[in-house]
Amino acid sequence: MTGVRKAAIIGGGVIGGGWAARFALNGWEVRVFDPDPEAERKIGEVLANARRALPGLGNVALPEEGPIRFCDSLAEAVEGVTWVQESVPERLDLKHRIYGHLMAVLPEGALVGSSTSGFKPSELQEGQARAGAIMVAHPFNPVYLLPLVELVSSGASAPEDIVRAQEILRDIGMYPLHIKAEIDAHIADRLLEAVWREALWLVKDGVATTEEIDEAIRMGFGLRWAQMGLFETYRIAGGEAGMAHFIAQFGPCLEWPWTKLMDVPELTDELIEKIAAQSDAQSGAHSIRELERIRDTNLVGIMRRLRWEDWGAGKVIREGDAAREADAGLVRHVDDVKDLSKPVLTQSRAVPLEWLDYNGHMTESRYLEAFADATDRLMEMIGCDLAYIEAGGSYFTAETHIRHLDEAKAGERFDIRTQVLVGEGKKLHLYHEMWAGERLCATGEHFLLHVDLKTRRSAPPAPELEVALGKLARAHAALPRPEAAGKVGRLS
């Protein structure tokens, strides 16, 4: 999507704050309406955590952060917006009252998403003017990191509006799961409710503590669910015979009285106190903000690993990276470089949380990873892409020299610009510079040789690759040679 994009957030609690951060960090102008005098502080704290975590989730820099403005009226908040996200408390009468005022000032063509976890869209639309503009857009906390948003439509929703809603949500890096059938609590919360009910019984009956239940989830099936979900996990459990065998083998146990999913324990004061005390013992050493940061760090690590495999939530991140490359100035072929007379941009991204060391800044090995990614990008630009490598040609790195000149911290954006010092025959000599704004953080000098992957020995590149590399090398030959090129630093 291009041009100035504006979104309004109605309700600035935990979910509304997450939406505000998600939109703003993806370059949208955000307006917030919430009469709570603490709304600006609360959203500011959520935004601080989002700035720490979200920019390093992908491998391409996010756009410049959009401004956030706190408004005194609904009319001011929605002026000129294309998307309104309602995140007020789960009371249908309150939502109807908000929509009554909202529809009188909603811009033509704007869409309204509700963060409701339980109400159906037809219930939200009842009695409202322009009812079809209202849909369920139910996210998961933290909204600024987790990609899933359950997009639920009704018969009043126009097909083109559903498509537009999906495009908007994808633009901010989310995965809009379109649920076509209306049902209370949608899909994900119904599954969560089943687990939650059984967990309450296990605590009430003294079978397990809150900590033991959490350990059972996060040490076992929670890890499987994070990347394969339920049915794909059980398909593997069926072995070579697949899902049919799994159901035949384990299906009869569904009739055994193991769970109490049709029963809900009475939430007596005694049970509530028991759960609260166990939870305090389990997690009370950390503040809520500390727990949020621990959660965010873990989620980023898991999802970045999934990105490597182009799997699950990682596939959404990879697709988001691809969509942002052009805006970030990254290209895939040397012919698309606008100005060959200067070093080419080969990386534009932010420092991920997993790249930090005990000193709170980017650790040594990750500089090599960043420069290696820049080398891979340049190789692709001259035609040494996956297809070329599968055909039997590639470059092997023979020598590397990195200088660490300044700090790079979590979430900090950096660009890598690459100069070709030698690009002829079998030889490829590159000089990378890593910049964080006006600060030169590091340089990386890499010498590579083209190889035949069948013999694993050096060999000339294919003619088309030699032409593309020669074009870049000749242009860069006119550049001054970097002063540090070919030198090894000495400690005094």
Say if 427 falls within a structural domain: yes
Residues 14 and 135 in one domain: yes
Residues 150 and 276 in one domain: no
Q: Are 27 and 328 in contact (CB under 8 A)?
A: no
Say if 393 falls within a structural domain: yes
Say if 491 falls within a structural domain: no
Domain boundary among 154, 179, 204: 179
Domain boundary among 149, 179, 209: 179
Q: Are 444 and 450 in contact (CB under 8 A)?
A: no
Say if 310 falls within a structural domain: no
- pLDDT, tens digit, 9 for 90 and up, residues 241-282: 878 877 788 777 777 777 777 787 887 889 888 888 888 888
Residues 406 and 276 in one domain: no
Q: What is the DSSP letter of 485?
A: T
Residues 252 and 372 in one domain: no
Residue 12 labelled as part of a binding site: yes
Domain range for 248: 192-285
Residue 329 labelled as part of a binding site: no
- CATH at residue 222: 1.10.1040.10
Residue 423 labelled as part of a binding site: no
Distance CA 254, CA 330 (A): 53
Residues 207 and 175 in one domain: no
Q: How confident is the model at residue 229 (pLDDT cuts 50, 70, 90)?
A: confident
Q: Say how many CA atoms lie within 13 Å of 45 toward its Cβ.
A: 13
Residues 54 and 91 in one domain: yes
Residues 257 and 350 in one domain: no
Say if 154 falls within a structural domain: yes
pTM: 0.86
Predicted confidence at residue 255, as pLDDT, reads 73
Q: Are 243 and 235 in contact (CB under 8 A)?
A: yes
Say if 317 falls within a structural domain: no
Which of 137, 110, 6 lies closest to 68, judged by CA? 6
- CATH at residue 12: 3.40.50.720
User: Which uninterrupted H or E stretch holds 487?
Assistant: none
- pLDDT, tens digit, 9 for 90 and up, residues 63-120: 999 999 999 999 999 999 999 999 999 999 999 999 999 999 999 999 999 999 999 9
- CATH at residue 366: 3.10.129.10
- pLDDT, tens digit, 9 for 90 and up, residues 334-374: 999 999 999 999 999 999 999 999 999 999 999 999 999 99
Q: Are 374 and 418 in contact (CB under 8 A)?
A: yes
Say how many C-beta atoms besides its own lie within 10 A of residue 454's C-beta: 9
Residue 411 labelled as part of a binding site: no
Q: How confident is the model at residue 168 (pLDDT cuts 50, 70, 90)?
A: very high
Q: Are 423 and 473 in contact (CB under 8 A)?
A: yes
- pLDDT, tens digit, 9 for 90 and up, residues 197-225: 999 999 999 999 999 999 999 888 888 88
Q: What is the token pair recorded at 59?
A: 């491998």
The number of domains in the chain is 3
Residue 105 labelled as part of a binding site: no
Residues 396 and 359 in one domain: yes
Per-residue pLDDT for 490 more than 60? Answer: no
Q: What is the token pair recorded at 117?
A: 């976890």
Predicted confidence at residue 2, as pLDDT, reads 56
Distance CA 456, CA 470 (A): 24
Q: How confident is the model at residue 4 (pLDDT cuts 50, 70, 90)?
A: confident
Residues 174 and 276 in one domain: no
Say if 416 falls within a structural domain: yes
Q: How confident is the model at residue 464 (pLDDT cuts 50, 70, 90)?
A: very high
Residues 164 and 74 in one domain: yes
Say if 83 falls within a structural domain: yes
Q: How confident is the model at residue 491 (pLDDT cuts 50, 70, 90)?
A: very low
Distances (CA, A) of 290 to 43, 279, 296, 355, 410: 16, 15, 10, 19, 16
β-partners of residue 70 are 32
Domain boundary among 179, 208, 234: 179
- pLDDT, tens digit, 9 for 90 and up, residues 390-423: 999 999 999 999 999 999 999 999 999 999 999 9
Residues 159 and 219 in one domain: no
Per-residue pLDDT for 492 more than 60? Answer: no
Tokens 């299906």, located at residue: 251
Q: Are 8 and 85 in contact (CB under 8 A)?
A: yes
Question: What would you measure as the largest C-alpha separation in the chain, in angstroms?
Answer: 79
Residues 86 and 171 in one domain: yes
Residue 14 labelled as part of a binding site: yes
